[in-house]
């Protein structure tokens, strides 16, 4: 009996990897995105040409950024190239749930000589999430 249960759990883990993603929270999703994104940022990669970007970002936002032809590398941090994000930590704050599966996720970047914040708007898509927009937060 125990062997059957363990075998079933193993099969679910191997053949249903999306089951783990389905339990992911908006906070975990955003933290995972910025872990990946900051590596690309520090490598000065053209983020819009990355194959993995559509896994994190809504297609309409990608289309908007491509049409805008601005400094797309900096859109997700809402900050220019003057700040080095190579040795910073990312802290994802408490999520605010809005209507229609939209979540507001505050993110803090803490570096040696700076502390910087953005708001990430995440929407529920099927069993996962996608980033719909990012806006800056100015200290007042």
- Look at residue 123 in the predicted model and tell me its pLDDT: 96
Entry pTM: 0.77
Question: Of 13 and 42, which is predicted with more confidence?
Answer: 42
pLDDT in tens, 56-70: 999 999 999 888 865
Q: Is 17 exposed, middle or buried (0-12, 13-18, 19+ CB in 10 A)?
A: exposed
Q: Measured at the alpha carbon of residue 72, what is the angle toward residues 34 and 98, in degrees to the nearest 5?
A: 55
Supply the CATH classification number for the domain 24-136. Answer: 3.10.450.50
Q: What are phi and psi of 55, to 5 degrees?
A: -70, -25
Provide the phi-psi class of 101: left if phi over 0, else alpha when psi is between -120 and 50, else beta.
Answer: left
pLDDT in tens, 96-131: 999 999 999 999 988 887 888 999 999 999 889 999
């Amino acid at each position: 009996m125990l062997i059957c249960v363990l075998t079933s759990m193993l099969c679910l883990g191997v053949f249903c990897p999306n089951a783990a993603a389905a339990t992911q929270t908006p906070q975990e999703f955003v933290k995972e995105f910025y872990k990946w994104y900051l590596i690309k940022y520090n490598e000065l990669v053209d983020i819009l040409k990355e194959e993995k970007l559509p896994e994190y970002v809504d297609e309409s936002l990608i289309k908007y950024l491509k049409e805008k032809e601005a400094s797309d590398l900096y859109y997700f941090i809402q900050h220019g190239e003057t700040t080095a994000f190579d040795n910073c930590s990312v802290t994802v704050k408490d999520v605010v749930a809005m209507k229609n599966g939209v979540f507001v996720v505050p993110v803090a970047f803490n570096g040696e000589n700076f502390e910087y914040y953005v708001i990430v708007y995440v929407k529920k898509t099927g069993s996962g999430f996608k980033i719909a927009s990012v806006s800056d937060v100015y200290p007042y």
